[in-house]
Amino acid sequence: MNVTAKFDDRQFKEAAERIAVFSNKSMLEVCRQQAGLFVSDAVRFTPPFGDAPITEKWPVQREVGEKRVEKDIRKAFMPVERLAIFHSKRPLGNLLRRALRGTKNRFKAEQILREVGIKTDGIIAKANEDFHNLKRNNRGTVRSGKSPFIVTNFKSIADLIRKKQKLVGLAKSGWRAAVEGVNKFRARAIGLPAWVRRHGGTGGYQEGQAGNRSFVEVSNSVRHAQKHSDKIMTRAWNNRIRNIQLQAQKQEQAMQRAAKKAGLA
């Protein structure tokens, strides 16, 4: 499934036709304009974003994404050094440290953790994507309250965080083709930051005529965006419908004022 929006006179016919008349533009030109405004919003409403997606700076959105990645991974993995029993000089602490020295004794180490009430899904040498995926739900995140994997190589957690943080911006990059398509007709181009552009992104831009209808179609087919497709489309589309109606109303009022000033009304 693609995150797809199709702009034509069936979706917002009345407002688009009024704008076309008031601005002396063709319906295709109006569709291009509205598609550009939609894409600008859609990029902003595609994760990551903070509390003010439309107005906040790009570095804010990047930081939000990177922090979410780190938080998610740290819910899935816990370094063994964070366990108080690992540092205990009592018999169970000594047994745990000895058990962790070899992979054959990890079952014994897990038994010790259970004895002291520590819940875990197992003891592993290194954090990696496969173990992380085992913890993720259908939205791609790790739910709070889940028992973590206990990791003996704590550096591997930081390595995995850095690796996954490099994917921040991938979902947004799916709008790149749409951005390039609408920018051809915009006086002020939509800019994408480097952390979004570094991903190729897969999506599309298409426009044309179908009978007496003009249309512009934009899409984002990056897999990372599909989890959020309903929210992205609903927020960006509702924002566009609201604003195209306001735009048509303002242009109509401006025409009426001009006509009155010229003595034509």
C-alpha dihedral sign at 212, 181, 235, 228: positive
The model's pTM is: 0.82
- What one-letter code names the amino acid at 138? N
- Sequence-distant (≥ 6) Cβ neighbours of residue 129 within 8 angstroms: 160, 163, 164
Rounded to an integer, what distance in angstroms lies between the CA atom of residue 151 and that of residue 132? 12
Using DSSP's 3-state secondary structure scheme, residue 190 falls into: coil
CB-based contact 183:150 (threshold 8 Å)? no
Q: What is the pLDDT of residues 32-88, one digit of tens each?
A: 998 999 999 999 999 999 999 999 999 999 999 999 999 999 999 999 999 999 999
- Sequence-distant (≥ 6) Cβ neighbours of residue 225 within 8 angstroms: 3, 46, 171, 172, 174, 232
Backbone angles phi, psi at 225, to 5 degrees: -85, -20
C-alpha dihedral sign at 90, 95, 98, 102: negative
**DSSP state string for 134-159:** HHB-TTS-BPTTPPPEEES-THHHHH
Give the pLDDT score at 2.
58
Give the pLDDT score at 68.
97
- Domain extent listing, the chain: 3-48+170-261, 63-165
Backbone angles phi, psi at 68, to 5 degrees: -65, -40
Cβ neighbours of 215 (radius 10 Å): 19
C-alpha dihedral sign at 192, 194, 196, 200: positive
- pLDDT over 80 at 149, yes or no: yes
- What one-letter code names the amino acid at 150? I
Q: What is the pLDDT of residues 195-246, one digit of tens each?
A: 999 998 889 999 988 887 888 899 998 887 777 777 888 888 888 888 888 8
Q: For residue 134, give both structure tokens.
A: 């085992």
- pLDDT over 50 at 1, yes or no: no
Give the pLDDT score at 9.
45
Angle between helices 106-115 and 91-99 (to 10 degrees): 150
